[in-house]
Structure 1
Amino acid sequence: MPLPDNNTPWPPPHLARTLAEMRVDDAWYSGDAAKLTAVYARNPTRRNGVARLWGRHRAPQAGKRDGRLHIPLAGDIATASADLLFSEPPVFTVADTATQDRLNELSDADGIANTLLEGAEVAAALGGVYLRITWDRSLVDRPLLTTVHADCAVPEFAFGLLRAVTFWHELASDGASVLRHLERHERGRILHALYQGTADNLGRRIPLTEHSAVAPLAESLGPDGESIETGIDRLTAAYVRNIGPNRKHRGSDLGRSDYAAPLYDLLDALDTTWTSWIRDIRLARARLIIPDAYLRDHGPGRGASFDDDREIWQLLNIPPTEQGGITLSQFAIRVEEHERSAEATTRQAVRSAGYAAQTFGIDDQGAAITATEVKAKERRSMTTRGKKIRYWSPPLGEMLHVMLLLDRLLFGRGIVPERPRIAFGGTVSEDPTTLAQTLSLYQQAQAVSVDTKVRMIHPDWDEDEVQAEVARILTETGQAVPDPMQAGALV
C-alpha cells in the first residue's frame, strides 16, 4: 500500500474512536489537571449520575485557585508495570560468540534497557507501544532500537500480525498549517514523505528538503523517490501489546490499557475524595468572629482591621451583651473517613489494573521480609508480569534479530545473526543472608555442586565467568586434584 494521497483526512477516520480513548488515557497518565479538564470538557461523562470531577464547569473566582486535587495514581500504575518488567535489564543470548559480543555492545551502547523501560511505561498507559529499528550514519555507526507511541501510528494487521505501519510526527504548526512527516514500514523497505496540511487534513505532499529535520533522508531515497530499501525481507517495526484482550473492542488487534474500565471511575473517585479532604482542611482553619466595635478604625474611606497578634487592649465602651465577645470558629477535619475512603479506592484501582496492593506500598509494615515472602504477597502483580512478558518476548526478539541483520548488511559486521533468547530480570533480589543459609543447607545435604552454587549467587554471569570462579574455589579449597588416571604414562 502506498503512502496516503493528498488531502486525506488525518488522523484516519477509522482510528477516531481509538485515538479519542487514548487521549483520555494520556490525560490520566500525564497527571496534568489542565489536560484532564480539557478532555472531559470536550466529552462530558457522568459517574453514577453525577458529572466527573474534572468535567464540572467551575466559574473562575478572583484570587482563588481551583480547589480540585489530582492524585497521580495512573502514572504510578504505569511506572509499576514498567518496573516489574524491566527494572532489572533483560539478558539477550545467542549461540555464536562473535554475535553475542556484538549484541552486548549494541545493548550497552544504545541503552536498550532504558528504551525498554520507557516503552513499557507508555505501553501500560496507551495499551501498546511500537518498537522500531532505524539508523543514522551521521550520528552512530550502528542500528538503533527506538520506540513510537501508539497514538502516532496507523497499523495494518493480518491474522493478529503486524503487516505494515505508518508513523506520523508533527514537525511544525502555526495554528492554521501543520507540517507532518510520515514514515511507513513495509517488508523490505521504509517510505518517507512530508505533507503540509491542517489539523484534520493531511494536505499536499511536499519535498523532504522543505524541513531541516527530514531533509537528510532525501539523499537516501531510492529510484522511486520515496522509499529506502532495507535489504532484508522483514518488517523493521513491531507492535507490543500491553495485555489482551481489548475489552472495549473485542476482536481488536490493539492491546488493552491498564486504565481500562472501571479504572476511570475509580481514579475520578480518588481525586474526589482527596479534593473533599483538602477542602475540609481549608475550611477548618481557625477564624475569629468579632463585633464591629473591636475593629480599629483607620479613618474615613480607609476601612478597619483587627490585630490578632496584639497583646494589650484598652477597655471598650460597649454594652456587656452575651454576643459582644470574640468567638472562635474551627470545624473538625474528617481525617479517618477520608483516609479509609482513599485507601479503599486505591486498593480497588490497583487490583482492577492487575496489581497487588503491596506493590504500591499499601500494608507495608516496614519489617524485613525475604524475597519469597515478597513474591507471595505480590502474587497478583507477579501474575500480571508473567502475562506481559509473554506479550513482550516475540516482538522484542524479532526486533533484536532485525537489528543484527541490518548491522551485518549495512555496517559490514562479521556476525551470524540469529533470534536472541531473552531472559527477563528478576523483580526481587534474594537477601544474601537467606541465600547463604539456603546454600549451606544444600551443602550439608550434599545436594549441590560448586558450579550450581556459583550460578545461584551470580545468575548474571556467563559460562566463562562461572567456570573461572569454580576453578578458583576448587583450587583454594584443595579440591582441584588431578585425575589419577592421567598421572603418568600408561604402560
Structure 2
Amino acid sequence: MPLPVQDQAWPPPHIHRELRLYEQWGAWYGGDPDHLARVYGVNQVHGIGLDPKGWDRPQPGVTGLMNRVSRWFWGSPTPAGQIRNTKLHIPIAGDISSTSADLLFSEPPTLRVKGKNGQKRLDSLMHEAGIYGSLLEAAEVSSAYGGVFLRVGWDTEMYDHPVLSVFPPDSAIPEFRYGALAAVTFWKVLAEDDKCVIRHLERHERGRVYHGVYEGTSDRLGKPIPLTEHPETEIYADKVDETGGFDTYFPRGLLVNYVPNMRPHRLIRGTALGRSDYAGVEHLMDSLDEVWTSLMRDIRLGKGRIVVPDLFLENLGRGKGAAWDPDKEIYSGLGMLPPPGTAPNAMLTISQFAIRVTEHVESAKALVGQILRGAGYSAQSFGESDNSGRQLTATEIHSRERKSFSTRGRKTGYWNPSLQWLSDAILSVDHGVWGTKVSAERAEVHWPDGVMPDPESLARTIELFNRAQALSVESKVRMVHPEWDDHQVRAEMNKLRDELGLNVPDPDRLDDVLVPDRDGDDE
C-alpha cells in the first residue's frame, strides 16, 4: 500500500497510546529535568502510568487529575516563595541503557557465512560501514524505548558500501503480521512554524520503498507536495516512479527490521512491540530523585547562620537598610548595658542544622537496588566493588552478575534473527548496487561469553591442552582472542609460523583442509 494521498490525522490515533509511553521513557532516558517536568507536569494529560503509587484519592481543593499527576515528584510545582527549582535528577535510566548495550555489544558477536569470499566481504562491510558501532547505539535505544528499527540503505555519492541506520520507535508506524514486521512508515518533521508543518514520510514494504513530502499542521498530515520542495528529499525525486517508490535490491523482505528489547509488553497486551527496561520502575526513579533532592536540601539548610541583634547591624544610610559584616573585628561600643550575667558574645545566636547524610544515602542505595532488580540487572554490573579486595575469577563474576547475564541471554534471543537478516540484507544491497560477486545469505551468529576469563587461568588451560596435543594453533589463537574475525586469526597464525617456525598449515588455505569424519571418510 503506497503512501497516503489524502489529508488525515497525524500521528494516527491508533498509536497515541504507544507514543505517550515513548514520551515518558524518552524523558527518563534523556535525563533533562525540564523535559521530565513537562511530561509529568500538571498540564500534561497521560492515560498510562499516571498513578503507579496508588495515590489517586482526591484531596480537598485539588482536582482529581491534578492531584494524581502532582503526586509524582516531577509533577509537583515549585513551592511558592522559592526563587528557583531545586529538584535534582540522577541519570540512572541512561546508565541502565548504556550498561545494557555494553553487555550485548561491547564484545561484538561474530557473523559467519559459508562461502570464503562471502565471509571476507561481510567482515569488510561490518568494519567499513561501522556496523558494530551502530549496533551499540541500537541496543541502547532499544533498552530505553522497548525496541529499535534497523534500516539498510545506500548512497552512492557518499559511500561505496551499504549503510545501517538506527531509528527509535517513536518515529515509526509499524505494521506486524504474526509478530513479524510486515511494513513500516517512518516520519520526520522537516520544517514547522505556527501555521505549517512539513513532514517526510518513508514507507517500507516487501521489495519496495516509498517517499513523500506533506504540508499540513501540527495534528494533520496535509496535502502531498513534490519531493523537490525540500533539500533533504530532492535526492529521491529522480529515483521514484509514478507511484512514489522504487524497488529495493532485497526482494525477499524489507530493508527494515524491528528488534524488541523484551517481550511481552506489560501495558499493551497482544502487541508485538517490546517493553522498555524502565517499564514498572518509573515511580522508583522518581522517588530516587526525591531522596537526592532532599539530601541537597538538608545540605543547603545545614549551612551555619548567625542571628544578630539589630544593634549589631551597620546602618547603610537612609533608605538603604542595614548589613552585618561577619569578618569585621572591631565594633564600636554600645550605648547600653547587656542584661545582668550575660556576656556580649552570648547575644549572637548560631543556627546549625543536622545534615542527615547516612539516612539519605542508605535510602538512595535501597531505591537503586530495587530499580536495577526491576530492570533485570545486578548491582555489580553498575560498579559495585567487592569488599574483599581480591580479583574475582570469571566464574565468580558470572555468579555475582547472574541476573544481568540472564537478561543479556534473553535479549540475544531477540537479536539473533535481526543479525541474520542484517547479513542477508547488507550483502544483497552490496551485490545489487555495486555489483559485487558475492551471494547473499543469512549468517550464523556466535556470541562471546560476555566476561573475559582470567588470563592466568586461560594460559594454564591452553598449556594443558597443548601438552596433551589436543589443541591446534588456530584454536589457541581463537581461545585467546575470541573477538577476532577470520582475517585477524589468519594474520596471527602467519606471524606465529614466521617468528617461531611452528608447523602451521597455510592460513589462507584453511578452508581446503579436509577433516575425516567419524566413519573415516574425507567428506
TM-score, normalisation: structure 2: 0.86
The answer on 1:294 being equivalent to 2:312 is yes
**Aligned counterpart, 1:179:** 198
The one-letter amino acid paired with 1:10 is W
Deviations 1:243-270 (A, max 9, x none): 1010111211000110111x01100110
The answer on 1:21 being equivalent to 2:21 is yes
Deviation at 1:318, TM superposition (A): 3.2
Does the CA contact (< 8 Å) of 2:2 and 2:243 recur in 1?
A: no
Partners of 1:207 and 1:140 in 2: CA distance: 26
**Aligned counterpart, 2:373:** 351
Count of residues in correspondence between the two structures: 479
Deviation at 1:472, TM superposition (A): 7.0
The answer on 1:455 being equivalent to 2:484 is no
Partners of 1:309 and 1:475 in 2: CA distance: 78
Sequence identity, in percent?
45
Deviation at 1:441, TM superposition (A): 4.6
Partners of 2:237 and 2:137 in 1: CA distance: 30
Indicate which of 244, 257, 264 corresponds to 1:226.
244
| C-alpha spacing 1:348/1:307, structure 2 compared with 1 (3 Å) | same
Partners of 1:177 and 1:476 in 2: CA distance: 69
Deviations 1:87-114 (A, max 9, x none): 1222222121222222122111111111
The answer on 1:311 being equivalent to 2:329 is yes
Indicate which of 264, 269, 289 corresponds to 2:287.
269
Does the CA contact (< 8 Å) of 1:85 and 1:425 recur in 2?
A: no
Deviation at 1:310, TM superposition (A): 1.6
The answer on 1:398 being equivalent to 2:398 is no
| C-alpha spacing 1:19/1:461, structure 2 compared with 1 (3 Å) | closer
Partners of 1:316 and 1:418 in 2: CA distance: 96
Deviations 1:9-58 (A, max 9, x none): 01010001110111000011100011111111203734342711111122
Partners of 2:97 and 2:352 in 1: CA distance: 40
**Aligned counterpart, 1:330:** 352
The answer on 1:51 being equivalent to 2:91 is no
| C-alpha spacing 1:466/1:66, structure 2 compared with 1 (3 Å) | closer
| C-alpha spacing 1:361/1:160, structure 2 compared with 1 (3 Å) | same
**Aligned counterpart, 1:488:** none
**Aligned counterpart, 2:517:** none
User: Superposition pairs for residues 251-262 of structure 1, below 5 Å?
Assistant: 251-261=270-280
Does the CA contact (< 8 Å) of 1:86 and 1:424 recur in 2?
A: no
Indicate which of 280, 291, 312 corresponds to 2:298.
280
Does the CA contact (< 8 Å) of 1:127 and 1:257 recur in 2?
A: yes
Relative to structure 2, which stretch is displaced further, 149-158 or 411-420?
411-420
Deviation at 1:147, TM superposition (A): 1.1
Secondary structure in 1 matching 2:237: helix
The answer on 1:242 being equivalent to 2:254 is no
The one-letter amino acid paired with 2:77 is H
Relative to structure 2, which stretch is displaced further, 169-178 or 158-167?
169-178
TM-score, normalisation: structure 1: 0.91
Deviation at 1:444, TM superposition (A): 5.9
Partners of 1:78 and 1:129 in 2: CA distance: 13
The answer on 1:424 being equivalent to 2:444 is no
The one-letter amino acid paired with 2:460 is Q
Does the CA contact (< 8 Å) of 1:297 and 1:305 recur in 2?
A: yes
Relative to structure 2, which stretch is displaced further, 84-93 or 110-119?
84-93
Deviation at 1:437, TM superposition (A): 3.1
The one-letter amino acid paired with 1:325 is M
Deviation at 1:288, TM superposition (A): 0.3
The one-letter amino acid paired with 1:430 is P
**Aligned counterpart, 2:61:** none
Partners of 2:141 and 2:503 in 1: CA distance: 52
The answer on 1:362 being equivalent to 2:381 is no
CA RMSD of aligned residues (A): 2.4
Deviation at 1:478, TM superposition (A): 8.2
Unaligned 5+ runs, structure 1: 483-491
Does the CA contact (< 8 Å) of 2:97 and 2:144 recur in 1?
A: yes
Partners of 2:496 and 2:235 in 1: CA distance: 57
